[in-house]
Amino acid sequence: MVVVVLGVYTFVGHLVPQFTGGYPPAEVKIQPGINQADLVKVGQDLVNNRGCLTCHTIGGTDKGRCPNLETVGKEAATRYKGYNAEQYLLRRLTDPDFSEVPGYPKIMPKVWQPPIALSWPEVKAVTAYLESLGGKVTVQVTADDVQEKPHEIKFPDGASVTVKKVEAAKEIDPAVIQEGHDVMMSLPDKERCIACHKVGTEMPAGWFPNGYGQYCPDLSTIGAMHDADYVKQKVENPQSLPTVTGYPKTMMPMDYKKVLNDKYGKQADEKLVALASFIISHRGQQKLPPEISPWIIGGMFLLSIIVGFFLKRRRT
């Protein structure tokens, strides 16, 4: 009997679309006067789906590349003199180089620029969600906020940032990605990215997660937060950009561009673009709930009832 019931559930379950891992896109439209609970929900969806969790963690004990956001809504109000939580968070999202969090390098990108490319209303939604993590939500959405135009934000210290719509980065040609992979693999073993970094499914021998001090940062999610220009700059001059927390600044070779020049000559720049494109094609997978079907949950519940029924009959 149990086998028959489970067989029916399995058959029906395959006919019904399954829930995929991760959070669904926000269904609530950001509009003037949106209530703060809905705005926070939109912001949470954006944080979960637009690369924020590539570097940040929320709760738990894992140390990410960037700060744990579990209580950022409370901490933001005291991070920068003269700024309240909302102002600080807006500035960090739109102009992250203006300050730094002790113990962490300045590696956060501007979220309104590719590859994240949040709109101004989305920036405000993310700010509301971050405020809700230990603090009080103060963000309001006005009619002006939803207008498709550049938005200038002015801050207490006289600084201003203009957020404007930027076209999302185009999909990378698979042929270019393959060329970049071939470039990496054509280099001497010690000069390949995967001599120290994990890049997607390829990694150094003996790689282990969060291997601070032994290898270089995992690049399997870098495409979710940086573009090809960032990677090119890092290759050409590693010291020109901050180093990820927990890794020494001298790990990356300073002569990487020379290696490409020696091997490819006049084609070196073209090959570097291909290599950078290959690396940023890795966007990784967010830390989201696993795939699960409601039919599986229902089947397990029904099975427990059936088993309990038979056990009770045996006892009586």
> Tens-of-pLDDT digits for all 316 residues of the chain?
544 444 544 444 444 433 333 334 445 689 999 999 999 999 999 999 888 888 888 988 767 778 999 999 999 999 999 999 999 999 999 999 998 888 888 888 999 988 888 999 999 999 999 999 999 999 999 999 999 999 999 999 999 999 998 876 678 899 999 999 999 999 888 888 888 888 888 888 766 654 444 568 888 888 888 888 888 888 888 888 887 777 777 778 788 888 899 999 999 999 999 999 999 898 874 443 334 445 455 566 666 677 666 666 666 6
* Residue 157 structure tokens: 């210290």
Give the separation between CA 51 and CA 232, rounded to whole angstroms: 20
Which domain CATH number covers 155?
Answer: 1.10.760.10
* Residue 275 structure tokens: 């290599």
User: Which positions ≥6 away from 89 have C-beta within 8 Å?
Assistant: 72, 76, 127, 130, 131
Structural domain ending residue among the three candidates 115, 130, 163: 163
User: Which pLDDT does position 222 carry in this prediction?
Assistant: 85
Whether 181 and 201 share a structural domain:
yes
Q: Left (φ > 0), alpha (ψ -120 to 50) or beta: where does 141 sit? A: beta
Residue 59, domain member (yes or no): yes
Structural domain ending residue among the three candidates 124, 140, 163: 163
Give the separation between CA 191 and CA 90, rounded to whole angstroms: 40
Whether 233 and 147 share a structural domain:
no
User: Which pLDDT does position 30 carry in this prediction?
Assistant: 94
User: Which positions ≥6 away from 78 have C-beta within 8 Å?
Assistant: none
Residue 181, domain member (yes or no): yes
* Angle (nearest 5°) at CA 286 between 281 and 292: 125
Residue 2, domain member (yes or no): no
Residue 316, domain member (yes or no): no
Q: Say how many C-beta atoms besides its own lie within 10 A of residue 245's C-beta.
A: 18
* Length of the chain (residues): 316
C-alpha closest to that of 70 among 143, 134, 15? 134
Structural domain ending residue among the three candidates 163, 184, 207: 163
Q: Say how many C-beta atoms besides its own lie within 10 A of residue 203's C-beta.
A: 18
Residue 293, domain member (yes or no): no
Whether 204 and 256 share a structural domain:
yes
Give the separation between CA 184 and CA 232, rounded to whole angstroms: 13
Whether 141 and 211 share a structural domain:
no
* Residue 58 structure tokens: 């929320």
Give the separation between CA 43 and CA 57, rounded to whole angstroms: 15
Whether 40 and 159 share a structural domain:
yes
User: Which positions ≥6 away from 119 have C-beta within 8 Å?
Assistant: 112, 165
- Distance, CA of 105 to chain centre: 17
Which domain CATH number covers 257?
Answer: 1.10.760
- Distance, CA of 302 to chain centre: 38
Task: Name the residue range of residue 57's domain.
Answer: 36-163
Whether 186 and 151 share a structural domain:
no
Whether 159 and 40 share a structural domain:
yes
User: Which pLDDT does position 140 carry in this prediction?
Assistant: 96
Whether 183 and 158 share a structural domain:
no
User: Which pLDDT does position 115 carry in this prediction?
Assistant: 86
Q: Total domain count for the chain?
A: 2
Q: Could you tell me if 135 and 77 are in contact, meaning their C-beta atoms sit under 8 angstroms apart?
A: yes
Question: What is the chain's percent helix, strand, coil content, to nearest 5?
Answer: 45, 5, 50
User: Which positions ≥6 away from 279 have C-beta within 8 Å?
Assistant: 180, 193, 199, 219, 222, 223, 231
Q: Could you tell me if 276 and 183 are in contact, meaning their C-beta atoms sit under 8 angstroms apart?
A: no
Collapsing DSSP to helix, strand or coil, 316 comes out as coil
